[in-house]
């Protein structure tokens, strides 16, 4: 294996962790059996949740769209196999919140019958926008864990210029090996996916970054690239250092550019895609297949036969564990993701989603030394890849000083867990940062709410004021009028005659007078003979 | 099956405060042995007695404060405080002097401020300053390093002096104690002697050894060596000792070049007194030091500058304790103003929050 000629840079800190990847890479990727029942969450991506297109009782084919949204930042979900929709309900799904989410439950018919696929034979004949539309229809999302809709990501937008496409095959977290196996076994499709994304974003270079602990993957990809004599795709071997697979860290290592804290990789002319995503893009366009399965690493001391499996989205984790020889008797912790950034699951009766790269089963660990107060040794700051001062963040987060904690750039923390891992006082630092972030968000929400309430209150107050003023004005006018009348009456009384201000009354009186006069005249007329 | 839930990261590691402290304590052994060889059994007696006092005071305070006793008592921090203070005290200091210094360090300087991790001042240095201010006479009872003319006191003789104030019949105080080289330089310079005259003086000339004072150069050399070992092993950060030594070196060199008759040479500054112990073992106490990279440089350099000032123009022969305490005070400020540039931020952003506050 030759080291790449590409010049590399460093990011601050990082940790050399035991890889623990060999356990799950001994065997080739194994196709998990089609389960009898699949639970497919409608929301498996960042963005708008799709609207359901199926009803309970519908027969669906493999690859049929179950839900989609007209919103831009969204991705549809598809049936992973053919069968019948037997339930649509709020069910538990693997998510840090542990909350239920809307799921489509399919009873498989075992036929695994595809919908009619529409492969694109010559992608070059289509415009990037047309290809993006296909990627979008296929429900492709970032398979590195973020699950951001890929069709959105591969659209640089007006004015943006992507110089370098980085394909992230670093897989820096211990235990996880699904990307490694994918690169070993699907190198061809991966390279094809890279070409497609390059075409869509019009980037000049494509770098496939792989940590130096994956020699098989590196040589497999180098062979494909050499074979096809590709000049603008390069495999770059990077040192194994956690968390080099973090998007911003990887960009720094490969290009020496720092993505601005409040910006995106496109701000520095870079787009990063996970290797799994690139393969999914290839499948979406060349085969017309939507994203309905992924490779999942089932590993850890708590599982008897660790291995990588090609799994249909919606398969229950418990079934996968069964196919891996079941749990070790000391198994006590079930983690989705890796040991540094994964989150624990309470039960294994949860479906595999697009985000699920690894199921890690841990045995009861040896007891760690007791938690002690922070001694400000600064080991955390030495390893922090975001160049923060974790000890200060901890200090201010634990005293709930949420202003200062933001001065120390809390929101630049990527929660990689490096600080936690070196802390001699065994302080669960990341937990404090999450707490502070959540508190600040909820305070922000409260602030917006109270701002809204205050505006409404102010408006009501102003309205009431106005009404009161209007009423007072009316009252004042009335009073004035009364006063005037009284004054006029008083003046009239002084003059000795009644002054009728009211013209009506005067008119009536005048009319009465006239009538009386007339009457009087008539009387005199009838009394006297006619002239 | 129900599984345990926990917050990431899930990897268990065995780092502990205890391991850290004991590594530092182990690294202090060579220098300490050198001190016992040159200054007699008093060093060892002081260390043992100070440790007993420190652990008792720690246990007492933990009990009063209703804290778990075992993890804190065994974390090694009290032991380290005791050891550092014992090395700084005169070898024949009466037992009550050690008792007062150590007890004050643990009870007041450490626990009244919240115990491990919360004390703003280095407890050992607070203890030292308390006794040097309160009992200046007793603080001069330094044994001269082992020279031909002087006989080393036996272990029992030393213990009797420390605990019962009983001198061996044949000696008086003057015979067994002597001013340190630093002290001598200070006094003699005050008598208008030149450095050269002092170092070649008939009576106290020999104590100056070759560079930093007889015995002292060995002690400092060994503390330097084991300190470097700790730096290589990543137990302590190199910037604080580097800053301290660099500042002291630059200042003493400048002044010695300017007037070599009145200012001691840099080698003497670095290898006399407790410089290496201070640079690698005292100033590096993480709790009371600055924690940022630049802050640590400045913190170390600040201590070096204050040591030079106090040694040269101050009232005390060695100013380590005062220098450390002065910089302890500055540590939070140093930390704040030397915040590193976070990833993806620009240097010019700092200190951004002042701007925000102005806006309000």
Tokens of B241: 């000792």
Q: How does pLDDT run across B262-305, given as a tens digit for each residue? A: 788 888 888 888 899 999 999 999 999 999 999 999 999 999 99
pLDDT (0 to 100) of residue A87: 93
Start-to-end CA span in chain B (Å): 55
B64-B65-B67 Cα angle (round to 5) = 110
Strand A100-108 versus strand A37-41 pairing type? antiparallel
Best interface-test mutation with B: which of A334, A375, A383, A407 has the largest number of B CBs within 10 A? A375
According to CATH, the topology of domain A22-31+121-336 is Rossmann fold (3.40.50)
Give the span between the Cα atoms of B270 and B274, in whole angstroms: 9
Give the span between the Cα atoms of B78 and B92, in whole angstroms: 22
A163: Cβ contacts below 8 Å, ≥ 6 apart: A203, A204, A205, A269, A270
Contacts of A331 in chain B (CB under 8 A): 1, 3
Min Cα distance A313 → chain B (Å) is 22
| Cβ-defined contact of A339 to B342 (cutoff 8 Å) | no
pLDDT (0 to 100) of residue A499: 53
What phi and psi values does residue A517 have, to the nearest 5 degrees? Answer: -60, -45
Tokens of A211: 């940590």
Q: How does pLDDT run across B248-258, given as a tens digit for each residue? A: 999 999 998 98
Q: How does pLDDT run across B163-217, given as a tens digit for each residue? A: 888 877 666 666 677 777 777 777 777 777 777 777 777 666 666 776 667 788 8
| Cβ-defined contact of B344 to A420 (cutoff 8 Å) | no
Give the span between the Cα atoms of B343 and A93, in whole angstroms: 34
pLDDT (0 to 100) of residue B261: 78
Which residue of A lies nearest to B6 if distances are taken between CA atoms?
A344
Min Cα distance A217 → chain B (Å) is 26
Residue ranges of the alpha helices (H) in A95-233?
A: 128-137, 150-153, 178-185, 187-201, 215-227
Strand order in the sheet with A233-238: A233-238, A205-211, A164-169, A270-274
| Numbered ranges of CATH 3.40.50.11540 in chain A | 22-31+121-336
Q: How does pLDDT run across A412-444, given as a tens digit for each residue? A: 999 999 999 999 999 999 999 999 999 999 998
Which residue of B lies nearest to A11 if distances are taken between CA atoms?
B343
- DSSP annotation of A285 reads I
Give the span between the Cα atoms of A10 and A250, in whole angstroms: 9
- For chain B, state the CA radius of gyration: 22
A217-221, A478-482, B36-40, B122-126: least confidently modelled range: B36-40
- Contact at 8 Å (CB) between A351 and A106? no
Give the span between the Cα atoms of B349 and B339, in whole angstroms: 11
| Cβ-defined contact of B353 to A407 (cutoff 8 Å) | yes
Q: Is the dihedral of CA A218, A220, A224, A227 positive or negative?
A: positive
pLDDT tier at B1 (50, 70, 90 boundaries)? confident
Contacts of B18 in chain A (CB under 8 A): 369
Which residue of B lies nearest to A406 if distances are taken between CA atoms?
B353
| Cβ-defined contact of A369 to B20 (cutoff 8 Å) | no
What phi and psi values does residue A165 have, to the nearest 5 degrees? Answer: -100, 125
Give the span between the Cα atoms of A521 and A176, in whole angstroms: 124
- Contact at 8 Å (CB) between B65 and B116? no
- Which residue in the set A174, A261, A377 is minimally distant from B345, CB to CB? A261
| Cβ-defined contact of A381 to B286 (cutoff 8 Å) | no
- Contact at 8 Å (CB) between A207 and A236? yes
Strand order in the sheet with A83-92: A37-41, A100-108, A83-92, A59-60
> Which residues in chain A show pLDDT less than 50?
1-3, 529-531
Best interface-test mutation with B: which of A345, A346, A381, A409 has the largest number of B CBs within 10 A? A409
- Contact at 8 Å (CB) between A11 and A385? yes
Strand A358-363 versus strand A331-336 pairing type? antiparallel
B21: Cβ contacts below 8 Å, ≥ 6 apart: B75, B76, B77, B79, B80
Q: Is the dihedral of CA A332, A335, A338, A343 positive or negative?
A: negative
- Contact at 8 Å (CB) between A29 and A185? yes
Exposure of B359 in the CB half-sphere (CA atoms within 13 A): 5
For residue B146, is pLDDT > 70?
A: no
| Cβ-defined contact of A341 to B17 (cutoff 8 Å) | no
For residue B353, is pLDDT > 60?
A: no
SS3 A427: coil
pLDDT (0 to 100) of residue B86: 95
Point out which residues pair with A345 in neighbouring strands: A334
- For chain A, state the CA radius of gyration: 38
- Which residue in the set A261, A332, A376 is minimally distant from B287, CB to CB? A376
Best interface-test mutation with B: which of A10, A373, A399, A432 has the largest number of B CBs within 10 A? A373
- Contact at 8 Å (CB) between A359 and A342? no
Point out which residues pair with A51 in neighbouring strands: A68
Q: What is the mean pLDDT of chain B?
A: 86
B330: Cβ contacts below 8 Å, ≥ 6 apart: B290, B299, B302
Which residue of A lies nearest to B117 if distances are taken between CA atoms?
A375
Which residue of A lies nearest to B71 if distances are taken between CA atoms?
A370
| Cβ-defined contact of B6 to A425 (cutoff 8 Å) | no
A394: Cβ contacts below 8 Å, ≥ 6 apart: A374, A380, A427, A429, A432, A433
Closest CA to A15 of A431, A422, A301, A366: A422
Q: How does pLDDT run across B49-59, given as a tens digit for each residue? A: 999 999 999 99
Contacts of A263 in chain B (CB under 8 A): 344
Min Cα distance B117 → chain A (Å) is 5
Q: From residue B160, how far is each of B35, B42, B153, B168, B214 by CA, in Å?
A: 20, 10, 10, 9, 26
- pLDDT over 90, % of chain B: 54
pLDDT (0 to 100) of residue B359: 41
Closest CA to A243 of A386, A381, A424: A386
| Cβ-defined contact of A339 to B291 (cutoff 8 Å) | no
A220: Cβ contacts below 8 Å, ≥ 6 apart: A183, A184, A185, A187
Q: From residue A19, how far is each of A237, A361, A451, B12 by CA, in Å?
A: 16, 16, 50, 14
- Which residue in the set B18, B118, B351 is minimally distant from A373, CB to CB? B118
| Cβ-defined contact of A430 to B9 (cutoff 8 Å) | yes
Give the span between the Cα atoms of A118 and B151, in whole angstroms: 101
Q: Is the dihedral of CA B258, B264, B265, B270 positive or negative?
A: negative
What phi and psi values does residue A495 have, to the nearest 5 degrees? Answer: -70, -15
């Amino acid at each position: 294996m030759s080291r790449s000629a590409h010049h590399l840079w460093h990011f601050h800190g990082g940790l050399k962790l035991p890889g623990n990847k060999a356990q799950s890479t001994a065997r080739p990727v194994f196709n998990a059996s089609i389960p009898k029942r699949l639970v497919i969450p409608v929301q498996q991506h960042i963005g708008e949740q799709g609207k359901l297109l199926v009803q309970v009782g519908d027969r669906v084919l493999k690859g049929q769209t179950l839900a989609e949204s007209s919103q831009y930042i969204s991705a549809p979900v598809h049936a992973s196999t053919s069968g019948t929709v037997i339930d649509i309900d709020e069910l538990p799904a693997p998510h840090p919140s542990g909350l239920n989410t809307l799921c489509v439950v399919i009873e498989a018919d075992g036929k695994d019958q595809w919908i009619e696929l529409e492969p694109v034979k010559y992608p070059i004949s289509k415009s990037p926008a047309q290809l993006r539309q296909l990627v979008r229809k296929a429900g492709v999302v970032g398979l590195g864990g973020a699950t951001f809709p890929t069709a959105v990501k591969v659209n640089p937008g007006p004015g943006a210029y992507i110089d370098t496409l980085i394909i992230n095959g670093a897989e820096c977290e211990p235990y996880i090996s699904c990307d490694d196996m994918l690169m070993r076994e699907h190198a061809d499709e991966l390279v094809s996916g890279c070409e497609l994304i390059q075409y869509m974003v019009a980037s000049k270079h494509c770098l496939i970054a792989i940590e130096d602990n994956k020699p098989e993957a590196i040589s497999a990809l180098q062979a494909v690239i050499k074979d096809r004599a590709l000049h603008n795709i390069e495999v770059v071997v990077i040192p194994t250092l956690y968390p080099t697979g973090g998007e911003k860290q990887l960009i720094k290592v490969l290009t020496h550019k720092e993505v601005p804290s409040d910006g995106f990789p496109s701000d520095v002319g870079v787009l990063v895609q996970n290797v799994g995503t690139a393969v999914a893009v290839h499948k979406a366009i060349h085969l017309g297949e939507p994203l309905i399965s992924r490779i999942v690493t089932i590993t850890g001391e708590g599982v008897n036969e660790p291995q990588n499996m090609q799994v249909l989205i919606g398969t229950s984790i418990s079934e996968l564990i069964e196919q891996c020889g079941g749990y070790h008797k000391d198994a006590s912790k079930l983690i989705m993701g890796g040991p540094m950034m994964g989150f624990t699951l309470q039960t294994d009766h949860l479906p595999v989603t697009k985000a699920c790269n690894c199921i890690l089963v841990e045995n009861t660990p040896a007891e760690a030394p007791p938690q002690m107060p922070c001694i400000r040794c600064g080991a955390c700051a030495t390893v922090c890849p975001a160049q923060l001062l974790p000890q200060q963040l901890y200090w201010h987060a634990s005293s709930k000083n949420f202003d200062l904690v933001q001065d120390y750039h809390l929101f630049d923390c990527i929660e990689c867990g490096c600080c936690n891992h070196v802390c001699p006082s065994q302080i669960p630092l990341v937990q404090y940062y999450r707490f502070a972030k959540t508190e600040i968000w909820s305070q922000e929400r409260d602030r917006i709410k109270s701002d809204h309430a205050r505006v409404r209150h102010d408006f009501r107050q102003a309205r009431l004021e106005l009404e009161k003023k209007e009423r007072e004005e009316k009252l004042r006018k009335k009073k004035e009028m009364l006063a005037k009348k009284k004054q006029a009456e008083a003046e009239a009384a002084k003059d000795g005659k009644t002054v009728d201000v009211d013209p009506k009354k005067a008119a009536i009186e005048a009319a009465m007078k006239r009538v009386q006069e007339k009457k009087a005249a008539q009387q005199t007329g009838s009394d006297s003979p006619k002239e | 099956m129900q599984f345990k839930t926990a917050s990431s990261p899930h990897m268990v590691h065995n780092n502990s405060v205890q391991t850290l402290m004991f590594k530092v304590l182990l690294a202090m052994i060579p220098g300490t042995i050198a001190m016992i060889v040159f200054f007699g059994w008093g060093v060892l007696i002081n260390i043992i007695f100070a440790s007993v006092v420190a652990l008792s005071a720690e246990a007492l305070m933990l009990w009063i404060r209703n804290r778990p006793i075992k993890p804190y008592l065994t974390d090694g921090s009290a032991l380290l405080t005791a050891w550092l203070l014992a090395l700084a005290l005169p070898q024949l200091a009466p037992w009550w002097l050690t008792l007062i210094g150590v007890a004050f360090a643990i009870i007041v300087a450490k626990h009244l401020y919240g115990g491990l991790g919360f004390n703003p001042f280095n407890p050992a240095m607070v203890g030292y300053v308390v006794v040097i201010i309160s009992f200046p006479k007793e603080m001069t009872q330094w044994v001269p390093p082992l020279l031909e003319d002087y006989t080393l006191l036996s272990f029992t003789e030393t213990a009797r002096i420390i605990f019962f104030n009983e001198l061996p019949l044949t000696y008086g105080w003057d015979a067994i104690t002597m001013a340190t080289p630093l002290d001598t330089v200070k006094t003699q310079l005050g008598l208008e002697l030149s450095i050269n005259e002092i170092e070649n003086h008939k009576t106290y000339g020999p104590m100056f050894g070759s560079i930093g004072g007889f015995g002292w150069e060995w002690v400092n050399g060994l503390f330097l060596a084991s300190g470097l070992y700790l730096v290589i092993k990543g137990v302590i950060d190199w910037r604080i000792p580097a800053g301290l030594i660099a500042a002291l070196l630059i200042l003493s060199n400048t002044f010695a070049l300017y007037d070599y008759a009145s200012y001691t040479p840099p080698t003497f500054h670095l290898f006399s007194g407790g410089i290496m112990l201070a640079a690698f073992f005292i100033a590096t106490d993480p709790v009371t030091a600055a924690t940022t990279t630049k802050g640590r440089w400045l913190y170390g350099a600040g201590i070096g500058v204050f040591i030079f000032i106090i040694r040269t123009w101050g009232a005390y022969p060695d100013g380590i304790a005062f220098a450390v305490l002065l910089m302890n005070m500055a540590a939070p400020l140093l930390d704040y103003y030397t915040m590193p540039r976070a990833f993806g931020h620009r240097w010019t952003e700092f200190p951004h929050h002042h701007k925000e506050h102005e806006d309000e």
